[in-house]
Amino acid sequence: MSQRKDGIWDVVDGLQRLSTIYQFMGILKDENSNNIAPLTLCGTKYLPSLEGKKWNDISDEDSSFTQELRLIIKRSKINVSIVLKESDETAKYDLFQRLNTGGSDLSPQEVRNCILVMLNKEFYNWLQTLASYEPFQECIALSDRPLKESYDLELALRFLIFSDIDTQELNQLGDVGIFITEKMRVLAVDNNFDKVSWETLFKKTFDLLSENLSDESFKRYDIGKHKFTGGFLLSQYEVVAYGVGNNLKNSNPVIDIREKAASIWSDKRYTEWSGSGITATRRLPRILPFGREVFNGSN
């Protein structure tokens, strides 16, 4: 839990578990404060008698837990770690990362989401709005698993960070995952960060890509077959999305997007630095400037 200045606790990690308990007990409410239908248990291999059991259904007492069992569950302990209001945001961030080093299945972006909610929930909601933008979703064309792991939010965040990053900063990246998290923290608390301008640029970029490439925006181009194939490629995203975005931000003309996206696959400046075994730390300082050059229509 993270304690606010008014003493109220915000759930940082464990919301799904708590919500499941509340829904089983019939006290979970929706956004309109209406009770959500209670859960009914399923039998398991070792506890088949749980099949059809409910917390307390007055119309079906035979399938409900007994009063004794309900009391046992209510008196059970739940371990809670509380980050007090006196703790600064860095302490909250560090504690959360430590809590998520033991057996957690959270993706890197899911951890960032939790940190972002602690830092600035409004910024997190705004990032969600960007990631939900239909032309963006159409262009990245992700499967269910990466979407479930918030990879679309990570890609939206990467666009904000890398589309206009200074070349000198690129050469000092270090671990890219840590770099993204630290830059996110800076953006989230920066009162001068212009969300309106960045949202306009984000939408303009993916409107253009949607019109020209649609779900082929970030796929490999097969030179022999003369078509885009396969699934989403991060290196293609880094060249195309950041390249188009950077030129739009600098008011450069962006033309022939489809042809240029295909042409990078016959350019050694891309193919030599986008293959397997090339880390993002080594790749980004080389292919980001390349992408800016390729999509600059004034060259």
Q: How far apart are CA 129 and CA 196, in angstroms?
A: 12
Whether 101 maps to a domain, the answer reads yes
Q: Answer yes or no: do 159 and 286 share one domain.
A: yes
Which of the two residues, 82 and 180, has the higher pLDDT score? Answer: 180
Whether 164 maps to a domain, the answer reads yes
Whether 83 maps to a domain, the answer reads no
Q: Answer yes or no: do 162 and 209 share one domain.
A: yes
Q: How far is CA 259 from the centre of its chain?
A: 30
Confidence of residue 277 (pLDDT cuts 50, 70, 90): confident
Q: Answer yes or no: do 224 and 175 share one domain.
A: yes
Predicted pLDDT at 299: 74
Which of the two residues, 81 and 197, has the higher pLDDT score? Answer: 197
Whether 165 maps to a domain, the answer reads yes
Token readout for 42 is 């399923």
Predicted pLDDT at 94: 63
Determine the longest span between alpha carbons in the chain, in angstroms.
78
As for how many domains the chain has, the answer is 2
Q: For residue range 96-119, what is the model confidence (pLDDT) as tens digits?
A: 666 655 545 678 888 888 888 878
- State the virtual CA torsion across 216, 218, 220, 224 in degrees, nearest 10: 40
Q: Answer yes or no: do 168 and 272 share one domain.
A: yes
Q: Which residue range forms the structural domain that includes residue 28?
A: 2-74
In contact, 274 and 283? CB cutoff 8 Å: yes
The average pLDDT across 262-286 equals: 89
Q: How far apart are CA 196 and CA 27, in angstroms?
A: 39
The residues with which 227 forms a beta bridge, in sequence order, are 222
Residue 140 has pLDDT above 80, yes or no: yes
* Residue located via tokens 């019109």: 211
Q: Answer yes or no: do 192 and 156 share one domain.
A: yes
Q: Answer yes or no: do 139 and 60 share one domain.
A: no
Q: How far apart are CA 270 and CA 239, in angstroms?
A: 9
Q: For residue range 205-245, what is the model confidence (pLDDT) as tens digits?
A: 999 999 999 999 999 999 999 999 999 999 999 999 999 99
Confidence of residue 90 (pLDDT cuts 50, 70, 90): low
Q: Answer yes or no: do 217 and 124 share one domain.
A: yes
Q: Answer yes or no: do 54 and 107 share one domain.
A: no
Q: Answer yes or no: do 122 and 57 share one domain.
A: no
Q: Answer yes or no: do 193 and 118 share one domain.
A: yes
Whether 224 maps to a domain, the answer reads yes
Across the chain, mean pLDDT equals 89
In contact, 228 and 219? CB cutoff 8 Å: yes
Q: For residue range 9-44, what is the model confidence (pLDDT) as tens digits?
A: 888 778 888 999 999 999 999 888 898 999 999 999
Whether 179 maps to a domain, the answer reads yes
Phi, psi of 284 (to 5 degrees): -60, -45
Last residue of a domain, one of 47, 74, 101: 74
Residue 266 has pLDDT above 80, yes or no: yes
The residues with which 221 forms a beta bridge, in sequence order, are 228
Whether 81 maps to a domain, the answer reads no
Q: Answer yes or no: do 66 and 128 share one domain.
A: no
Last residue of a domain, one of 39, 74, 109: 74
Percentage with pLDDT > 90 across the chain = 64
Whether 281 maps to a domain, the answer reads yes
Q: Answer yes or no: do 192 and 235 share one domain.
A: yes
